[in-house]
């Protein structure tokens, strides 16, 4: 047999073998891939359940000792805890829930309009050359570690806010109805400072998602608006914004999710007052996350650690509730604007 022919035969044999093998492989490969996927999916759910279970079981001794409802008051004073007595419960957490909520809400009030504005600028107004740079810069904001934001809060923001103290204490505080939110004295470290730091931290989330949403607005909508003689503002108002509403709400809630759990930057500027609710945003407060960060390492009072886990559990529930609400709202708005098509 000539050498060439032998080679050809051999090649044909190997190629058909390869075909068979690859078929087999594809089938086993598919199976492996499918199972891997399934396993990862299950693992994520299992992990979440395990975490909730762990936090709850660590909190149980305290919940048993004091009773669930006794945690709903506004005084947190571990130094008054004792093994023997279960009433009054020294570990009230309502002020932390309030603190977490108010700080996040103010942060959103500041960052959503600014974030949407920045996103509109990037997607609608800004010259093409700058687009990439600006996008990268806003994304870099997300890469700054939160402890650095805390530093910035202490070193720049707090001194910068202080000159405004007089205006807030003397003018805003006199407005009937809302004046109570601006009562002094204002020392800089406050709920307000924490909210401003947070608002900058959630900006990149709001900007990035809003930008994505704006880019999905169909060409036809824009062109229709332009054809009707709309100015740039009118195009944005009548074509871009209505189409993107549910997406922007979704973006805000994702930002809110980050705000609720943010710990170290908030701890550094909020002033950490755990003994009650300060209705004034110029006063000191605390959040569920900040009290845990502050007290976990040296929690050695009776039921102290266990009560911190109660706070942790409350934070988990709060985040869960906010996420569910967000999903419901986004789904409803999506249906209302006919976005699904």
- Positions in the binding site for another protein (CB under 8 A): 75, 77-80, 127, 130, 151-152, 154-156, 158-159, 185, 187-189, 267-268, 271-275, 284, 286, 290, 293-295, 297-301
Q: Which of 149, 152, 119 is nearest to 135 (CA)?
A: 119
Minimum Å gap between C-beta 324 and another protein is 32
Residue nearer to another protein on the CB measure, 98 or 243: 98
The pair of structure tokens assigned to 269 is 């500027």
CB within 8 A of 298, min separation 6: which ones? none
C-beta closer to another protein: residue 256 or 304: 304
DSSP annotation of 194: H
CB of 28 to another protein, least distance (A): 46
| Residue 72 backbone class (left: φ over 0; alpha: ψ -120 to 50; beta: rest) | beta
Cβ atoms within 10 Å, residue 318? 18
Phi-psi region at 217: left, alpha or beta (left = phi > 0; alpha = psi -120 to 50): beta
The nearer residue to another protein, 116 or 118, going by C-beta atoms, is 118
Find the shortest distance in angstroms from Cβ 297 to another protein.
Answer: 4
CB of 18 to another protein, least distance (A): 56
Q: How far is CA 338 from the centre of its chain?
A: 27
177: left (phi over 0), alpha (psi -120 to 50) or beta: left
Between 107 and 268, whose beta carbon lies closer to another protein? 268
Q: Which is nearer to another protein, 78 or 204 (CB)?
A: 78
Residue 35 or 133 with smaller CB distance to another protein:
133
- Minimal distance, residue 262 CB to another protein, in Å: 14
CA angle 113, 119, 125 (to 5 degrees): 115
Cβ atoms 274, 290 nearer than 8 A: no
How many Å apart are CA 259 and CA 251, to the nearest integer? 12
Q: What b/e string do you get for 140-177 counting C-beta neighbours within 10 Å, with b at 16 or more?
A: ebeeeebeebbebbbeebbeebeeebeebbeebbeeee
For residue 295, the minimal CB distance to another protein (Å) is 6
Smaller CB separation from another protein, 151 or 224: 151
Shortest distance, position 270 Cβ to another protein, whole Å? 8
């Amino acid at each position: 047999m000539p050498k060439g022919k032998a080679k050809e035969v051999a090649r044909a044999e190997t190629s058909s073998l390869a075909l068979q093998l690859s078929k087999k492989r594809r089938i086993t490969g598919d199976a492996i891939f499918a199972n891997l996927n399934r396993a990862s999916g299950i693992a994520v759910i299992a992990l979440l359940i395990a975490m909730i279970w762990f936090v709850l079981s660590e909190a149980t001794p305290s919940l048993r000792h004091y009773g669930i409802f006794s945690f709903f008051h506004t005084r947190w004073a571990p130094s008054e805890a004792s093994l023997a007595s279960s009433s009054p419960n020294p570990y009230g957490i309502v002020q932390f829930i309030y603190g977490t909520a108010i700080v996040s809400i103010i942060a959103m009030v500041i960052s959503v309009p600014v974030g949407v504005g920045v996103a509109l600028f990037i997607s609608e107004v800004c010259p093409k050359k700058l687009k990439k740079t600006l996008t990268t810069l806003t994304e870099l904001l997300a890469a700054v570690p939160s402890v650095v934001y805390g530093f910035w809060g202490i070193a720049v923001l707090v001194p910068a806010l202080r000159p405004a103290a007089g205006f807030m204490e003397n003018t805003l505080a006199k407005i009937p109805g809302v004046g109570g939110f601006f009562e002094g004295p204002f020392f800089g470290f406050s709920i307000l400072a924490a909210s401003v730091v947070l608002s900058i931290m959630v900006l990149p989330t709001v900007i990035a998602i809003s930008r994505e949403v704006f880019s999905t607005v169909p060409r036809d909508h824009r062109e229709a608006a332009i054809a009707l003689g709309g100015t740039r503002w009118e195009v944005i108002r009548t074509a871009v914004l209505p189409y993107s509403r549910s997406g922007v709400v979704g973006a805000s809630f994702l930002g809110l999710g980050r705000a609720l759990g943010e710990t170290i930057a908030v701890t550094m500027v909020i002033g950490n007052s755990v003994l009650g609710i300060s209705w004034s945003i110029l006063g000191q407060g605390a959040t569920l996350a900040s009290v845990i960060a502050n007290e976990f390492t040296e929690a050695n009072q009776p039921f102290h650690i266990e009560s911190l886990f109660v706070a942790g559990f409350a934070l988990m529930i709060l985040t869960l509730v906010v996420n569910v609400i967000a999903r419901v709202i986004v789904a409803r708005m999506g249906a209302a604007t006919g976005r699904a098509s």
